[in-house]
């Protein structure tokens, strides 16, 4: 089953976990989780993450396991057409063109160009309207400006004109984890979902309560992005393991993989229950 079919087969309470990676042990944790759960997982690589790994190498690694597992690869937050087109040429399963910092007209124009470039290839294109604040780090606080949240009419115009497959929006969700849990504008989310009629993508689920995320799933967010929470587990567990006597990398890294895997399994079951 390809990613598009999978998304359209999801029930009202189901969504797919999107998990960002930039190291081999993060990839391994995701692979082991899916081997255990048999639940689909999307691996995400932002421009920084995929440049670190090499955009072609990470595709080959995911393809290696894809023969037997329901896993997918997304070129997350591609800020330029060049990197987005590169991911299309490498046949990633999905590409997010993030034109959220451009004005709407320019965002539409560039996203459309990418849709044309994709042509009839079986690759999902995600667009982004509205500004998702923050970065995938632990931050004290992030200011959320109401005027930067996605406007329903802008989302509709964007989807109608670009014909994107998926839409990332801002309803108060932020990248990263802050001391206070962000408040989400569910009503706006509901209105957007109803109006655009395509699956929405929830960015910045790290630091959000399960209750809030599940409400988003019900509204129509079908892909749930987690990054910072897993980065935090990676660093904390690694720091702990590095204090041990051994100098053998796999002995140090194995418990890190296990710790991340447990959390992936946990979220996969949370969002994929029937």
- Rounded to a whole number of angstroms, the minimum distance from the CB of residue 241 to Zn ion is 28
CB closer to Zn ion out of 162 and 206: 206
- Rounded to a whole number of angstroms, the minimum distance from the CB of residue 135 to Zn ion is 10
Residue 151 engages Zn ion in binding (rule: CB under 5 A): no
- Rounded to a whole number of angstroms, the minimum distance from the CB of residue 274 to Zn ion is 27
CB closer to Zn ion out of 79 and 262: 79
Residue 237 engages Zn ion in binding (rule: CB under 5 A): no
The span of 18-26, 181-189, 202-210, 214-222 binding Zn ion (CB under 5 A) equals 202-210
Q: How many residues bind Zn ion (CB under 5 A)?
A: 1
Residue 18 engages Zn ion in binding (rule: CB under 5 A): no
Q: Report whether 138 contacts 206 (CB < 8 A).
A: no
Residue 212 engages Zn ion in binding (rule: CB under 5 A): no
The span of 122-130, 141-149, 154-162, 200-208 binding Zn ion (CB under 5 A) equals 200-208
Mapping DSSP onto H, E and C, the string for the chain reads CCHHHHHHHCCCCCCEEEEECCCHHHHHHHHHHHHHHCCCEEEEECHHHHHHHCHHHHHHHHHHHHCCCCEEEEEEEECCHHHHHHHHHCCCCEEEECCCCCCHHHHHHHHHHHHHHHCCCCCEEEEEECCCCEEEEECCCCCCCHHHCCCHHHHHHHHHHHCCCEEEECCCCCEEECCCCCCCCHHHHHHHHHHHCCCEEECCCCCCCHHHHHHHHHHCEEEEEECHHHHHHHHHHHHHHHCCCCCCHHHHHHHHHHHHHHHHHHHHHHHHCC
Q: Report whether 235 contacts 256 (CB < 8 A).
A: no
- Rounded to a whole number of angstroms, the minimum distance from the CB of residue 126 to Zn ion is 10
CB closer to Zn ion out of 110 and 256: 110
Joined tokens for residue 136: 């995938």
Catalytic site includes residue 76? yes
Q: Report whether 167 contacts 198 (CB < 8 A).
A: yes
Out of 76, 93, 98, 165, which one is annotated catalytic?
A: 76
Residue 261 engages Zn ion in binding (rule: CB under 5 A): no
CB closer to Zn ion out of 37 and 228: 228
- Rounded to a whole number of angstroms, the minimum distance from the CB of residue 38 to Zn ion is 26
Please tell me the number of Cα atoms within 13 Å of 268 on its side-chain side. Answer: 24
Joined tokens for residue 218: 């019900």
CB closer to Zn ion out of 37 and 173: 173
- Rounded to a whole number of angstroms, the minimum distance from the CB of residue 124 to Zn ion is 15
Q: Among all residues, whose Cβ is closest to Zn ion?
A: 203
CB closer to Zn ion out of 203 and 261: 203
Among 85, 112, 151, 203, interactor with Zn ion by CB under 5 A? 203
The span of 140-148, 195-203, 216-224, 237-245 binding Zn ion (CB under 5 A) equals 195-203
**Residues annotated catalytic, as ranges:** 76
- Judged by the rule CB under 5 A, the positions of this chain that interact with Zn ion are 203
């Amino acid at each position: 089953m390809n990613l598009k079919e999978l998304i359209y087969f999801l029930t009202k309470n189901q969504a797919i976990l999107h998990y960002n990676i930039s190291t081999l042990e993060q990839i391994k944790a995701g692979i082991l989780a899916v081997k255990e759960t048999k639940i689909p997982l999307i691996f995400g690589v932002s421009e920084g993450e995929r440049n670190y790994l090499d955009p072609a190498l990470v595709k080959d690694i995911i393809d290696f396991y894809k023969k037997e597992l329901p896993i997918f690869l997304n070129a997350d937050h591609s800020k330029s057409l060049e990197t987005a087109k590169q991911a299309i040429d490498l046949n990633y399963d999905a590409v997010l063109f993030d034109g959220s910092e451009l004005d709407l007209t320019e965002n539409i124009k560039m996203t459309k160009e990418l849709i044309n470039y994709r042509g009839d290839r079986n690759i999902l294109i995600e667009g982004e309207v509205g500004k998702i604040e923050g970065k995938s780090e632990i931050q004290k606080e992030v200011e959320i400006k109401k005027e930067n949240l996605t406007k329903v009419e802008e989302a509709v115009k964007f989807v109608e004109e670009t014909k994107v497959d998926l839409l990332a929006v801002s309803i108060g969700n932020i990248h990263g984890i802050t001391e206070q849990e962000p408040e989400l504008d569910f009503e706006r989310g509901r209105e957007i979902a109803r109006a655009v009629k395509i699956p929405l993508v929830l960015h910045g689920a790290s630091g959000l309560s399960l209750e809030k995320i599940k409400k988003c799933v019900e509204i129509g967010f079908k892909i749930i992005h987690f990054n910072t929470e897993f980065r935090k587990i990676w660093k904390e567990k690694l720091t702990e393991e590095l204090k041990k006597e051994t100098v053998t990398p796999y002995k140090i890294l194995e418990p890190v993989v296990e710790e991340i895997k447990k959390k992936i399994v946990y979220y996969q079951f949370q969002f994929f229950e029937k």
